[in-house]
Structure 1
Amino acid sequence: MTAREAGDLADDRALLGRTSTAERVADILRGRVAEGWFPPGTRLSEDSIGGALGVSRNTLREAFRLLTHERLLVHELNRGVFVRVLAVDDVEDIYRTRRLVECAVVRGLGHPPYPLEGLAAAVAEGEAAAHAGDWPGVSTANIHFHRELVALAGSARTDELMRGVLAELRLAFHLVADPRVLHQPYLARNREILDALRAGERATAERLLARYLDDSRARVAAAYARAVEAPSSPTP
């Protein structure tokens, strides 16, 4: 970890407040993994991260344990803790889970209008990032879109489930060589889903979403398979 990275992570210390817990540390690290700050295969330094956050070694180890249970980290005996590198089967399974959850959320929406401000902001975020040529930013905006979509259920448990699922998916995104090819097709599709929900067309939105996720699964799994087969792929 560089001095600049340590300084950035230290900025998160304020999130811990006076009731510093392993769960809160895990929340911070989960977010950093999801944003690509710790790429797959990265060894996590207890000294650097614990020092930056100002937490004890035991607290940090408990946070690592929680994220290992969520399949974001792996512990290698006598080597340390690493950000997990997914298998292709993991990517397929993540998409099966997403389809079950996200489509069920849309199907279960009540009568319109729906609170779509967060969803609209995520669409605008993605379009602005694409205009700037920031394709990792498009990827982040896309994750925000699906997180906001699931948030329409108003369920803290569903939100928590999807935070972990989407963070795990980002582990696949970080190894794909061309994020533009991967994410650009879904900008227009995100807007189509948003427009359908604005019009109160819940069944149309669910149909668009299901097709979206099926297409994305095939595209991401194929791109990821090529990436992990490449000789330069990082490994723990």
Structure 2
Amino acid sequence: METTGSELGELADDRRLLGRTSTAERVADILRTRIAEGFFPPGARLSEDSIGGALGVSRNTLREAFRLLTHERLLVHQLNRGVFVRVLTVEDVEDIYRTRRLVECAVVRGLGEPPFVLDGLRAAVVGGEQAAREKHWKGVSTANIHFHRELVALARSARTDELMRGVLAELRLAFHVVDDPRGLHEPYLVRNREILEVLKAGRRDDAEQLLADYLDGSRTRLVQIYAGLVPEGDAAER
């Protein structure tokens, strides 16, 4: 699967984000966002010439950006074939959810005494509900990811934020394989609202239990769907 000319034209618009201080990290940020949005779907081959030309960066800079994203498990280098967006295995998906449960539940457990600062969490819930009213299901998916990032941000830990940024970016690789974004994401709008309201009431323990049940149910459902879409033999080698 190769990127089309129109897609590369859209990517070229991102050149303005690089400014005069273009670095591999900035290129990686752009590509990471595009991968998370599904602009480069799982299994897509990333052309050095096309992407480097669209962004106006050197081959060395682009290769360093690819290296950074490979380290984050978003890309995979296949010998004599090139660089591809990873296709997760079922085991990858299960491991992502194990990590999420460990981190997200620990964050809620360690919140301390109420009241909690929930502005970011509230904005994510409202954004998801608005996207659903507009039947913008990818927007619902994005808002749901924002909900969990804002939840982890309650820990006020840059290291935890960075960890979850990578974990949730990986998770979206699985979401992009599923062809029913509404069915996958809409049911969790109510759960997000419920967790928000329980935290507003200061009931930290109840929020942790709701979150644990939420993540366990989400993992079971996604694994069932994903296992039928990506057989183990088709996953990109790691």
- Retained in 2: the 8 A contact 1:103–1:206? yes
- Matching residue of 2:201: 199
1:104 aligns with 2:75: no
- Retained in 1: the 8 A contact 2:75–2:86? yes
- Matching residue of 2:141: 139
CA–CA distance in 2 between the matches of 1:93 and 1:234? 15
* Matched AA of 1:59: T
* Matched AA of 1:83: V
Shift of 1:52: 1.9
CA–CA distance in 1 between the matches of 2:11 and 2:150? 25
| 1:75 aligned counterpart, secondary structure | strand
- Which is further off, 146-155 or 91-100? 146-155
Please show how residues 32-43 of structure 1 align to structure 2 within 5 Å: 32-43=34-45
Please show how residues 25-174 of structure 1 align to structure 2 within 5 Å: 25-174=27-176
Task: Give the TM-score taking structure 2 as reference length.
Answer: 0.92
Shift of 1:125: 1.4
* Matched AA of 1:41: G
- Which is further off, 110-119 or 183-192? 110-119
CA–CA distance in 1 between the matches of 2:204 and 2:189? 19
5+ long unaligned stretches in structure 2: none
5+ long unaligned stretches in structure 1: none
1:11-47: per-residue Cα shift (whole Å, max 9, x none)? Answer: 3223323322211211111111111111100111112
| 1:227 aligned counterpart, secondary structure | coil
CA–CA distance in 1 between the matches of 2:75 and 2:161? 20
- Matching residue of 1:8: 10
- Which is further off, 106-115 or 5-14? 5-14
CA–CA distance in 2 between the matches of 1:8 and 1:199? 44
CA–CA distance in 2 between the matches of 1:154 and 1:21? 27
Count matched residues.
235
* Matched AA of 1:193: I
| 2:171 aligned counterpart, secondary structure | helix
CA–CA distance in 2 between the matches of 1:107 and 1:17? 41
- Which is further off, 131-140 or 100-109? 131-140
* Matched AA of 1:224: Y
- Matching residue of 1:183: 185
Task: Give the TM-score taking structure 1 as reference length.
Answer: 0.93
1:194-220: per-residue Cα shift (whole Å, max 9, x none)? Answer: 111111111111111111000000001
| 2:229 aligned counterpart, secondary structure | helix
| 1:74 aligned counterpart, secondary structure | strand
CA–CA distance in 2 between the matches of 1:106 and 1:66? 30
Give the root-mean-square deviation of aligned CA atoms: 2.0
| 2:228 aligned counterpart, secondary structure | helix
CA–CA distance in 2 between the matches of 1:155 and 1:15? 26
| 2:230 aligned counterpart, secondary structure | helix
* Matched AA of 1:75: H
- Retained in 1: the 8 A contact 2:76–2:236? no
- Which is further off, 173-182 or 66-75? 173-182
1:109-147: per-residue Cα shift (whole Å, max 9, x none)? Answer: 132222212111111111112122222221111111111
Identity of matched residues, %: 77
Shift of 1:235: 7.1
- Retained in 1: the 8 A contact 2:89–2:235? no
